[in-house]
């Protein structure tokens, strides 16, 4: 497993600045990747600070476990286990949580991981290669209706029905076991696509999201982060596609709204309960210079919210 693949951390300065790192604070890097955000957070922590990082990818774990820093620990698992992991370490509150969602550049660029149609490789797509079904195994056993719904819901693919039908028809002859076979199959079914976009883009995205339970784990992790944050603590989330960003935006909007009150109940403004969080600024997107240096940054969106002092 290659560990030398380059990874450009997206919105590095903006995301870490949004956390307002305190030297003695406890922070969570929910998606370690190759450690770009973690390295920057540690540079601002004092001797009494702590950083707990999470990652499901064994290659990312190998990088993090090589760091010799008593303030740092990396956990092999999903950030959806955040509360359980932190409380097992005696941590009931944290000063900030950073989530950098989606797939990392090394995962896309290492052919054997099966995330990209740019290489002919085994169709795996698992972020954690030590457990769970690979994409090829799932495509071999899922029924046509399930495949159609996954591609439609997670890929927003209007040709999902035709693609699912072709997958089921072709797997009867031989398993769809490689990225090239799946990409070629989709290209033969999808009649049009946006200029410059591979016809299989949406299908690959959909299957990857489903195999790794990305949206479900995000929906589980966001309320845990809000509950763990100390008053004044920050939640910063970088998303890369509309499905993720929709979940983050809705969660932050609801958490920053006062709890609903009965209609027509006379309540003074001073007596309205404080919301759990407040939004910090507007959504942040990469500057043109960052996109020019790293085209994969073009779809990134950073949203930030802060835990209110009154709690909830």
Residue 309 assigned as binding residue: no
pLDDT value for 262? 66
Per-residue pLDDT at 192 exceeds 80 = no
Looking at 127-213, list the stretches that DSSP marks H as alpha helix, in order from N- to C-terminal side: 135-141, 144-155, 160-171, 179-187, 201-211
Q: Who contacts 76 (Cβ-Cβ below 8 Å, separation ≥6)? A: 55, 56, 58, 61, 128
Confidence (pTM):
0.89
Task: Report the pLDDT averaged over residues 124-149.
Answer: 96
- CA dist., res. 42 & res. 165, Å (int): 50
Task: Report the pLDDT averaged over residues 180-196.
Answer: 87
According to DSSP, residue 275 is labeled P
Least confident of 52-56, 76-80, 114-118, 277-281: 114-118
Q: How far is CA 61 from CA 28, 64, 173, in A?
A: 15, 5, 38
Domains of the chain from N-terminus onward: 12-105+214-307 (3.40.50.150), 129-211 (1.10.150.170)
Residue 35 assigned as binding residue: yes
Q: Angle at CA 255, nearest 5°, toward 82 and 239?
A: 60
What percentage of the chain carries pLDDT values higher than 70? 92
Residue 36 assigned as binding residue: yes
- CA dist., res. 305 & res. 79, Å (int): 18
Residue 188 assigned as binding residue: no
Task: Report the pLDDT averaged over residues 246-269.
Answer: 81
Task: Report the pLDDT averaged over residues 122-140.
Answer: 95
| pLDDT tens by residue, 20-35 | 999 999 999 999 998 9
Residue 107 assigned as binding residue: yes
């Amino acid at each position: 497993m290659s560990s030398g693949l380059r990874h450009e951390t997206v919105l590095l300065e903006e995301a870490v600045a949004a956390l307002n790192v305190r030297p003695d604070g406890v922070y969570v890097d929910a998606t370690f990747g190759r450690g770009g955000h973690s390295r920057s957070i540690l540079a601002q922590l004092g001797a009494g600070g702590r950083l707990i990082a999470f990652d499901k990818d064994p290659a990312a774990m190998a990088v993090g476990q090589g760091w010799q820093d008593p303030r740092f620990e990396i956990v092999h698992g999903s950030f959806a286990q955040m509360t359980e992991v932190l409380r097992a370490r005696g941590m009931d509150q944290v000063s900030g949580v950073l989530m950098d969602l989606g797939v990392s550049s090394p995962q896309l660029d290492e052919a054997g991981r099966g995330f990209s149609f740019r290489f002919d490789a085994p169709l795996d797509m698992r972020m954690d290669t030590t457990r769970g079904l690979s994409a090829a195994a799932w495509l071999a056993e899922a029924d046509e209706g399930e495949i159609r719904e996954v591609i439609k819901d997670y890929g927003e693919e209007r040709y999902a029905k035709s693609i699912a039908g072709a997958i089921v028809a072709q797997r009867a002859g031989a398993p769809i076991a490689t990225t090239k076979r799946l990409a070629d199959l989709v290209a033969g079914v999808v009649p049009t696509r946006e200029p410059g976009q591979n016809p299989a883009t949406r299908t690959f995205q959909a299957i990857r999201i489903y195999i790794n339970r990305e949206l479900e784990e995000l929906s589980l992790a966001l309320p845990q982060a809000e509950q763990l944050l100390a008053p004044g603590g920050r939640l910063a989330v970088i998303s890369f596609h509309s499905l993720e960003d929709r979940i983050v935006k809705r969660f932050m909007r609801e958490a920053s709204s006062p709890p609903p009150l009965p209609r027509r109940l006379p309540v003074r403004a001073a007596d309205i309960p404080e919301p759990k969080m407040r939004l910090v600024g507007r959504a942040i997107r990469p500057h043109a210079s960052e996109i020019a240096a790293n085209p994969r940054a073009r779809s990134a969106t950073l949203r930030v919210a802060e835990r209110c002092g009154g709690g909830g």
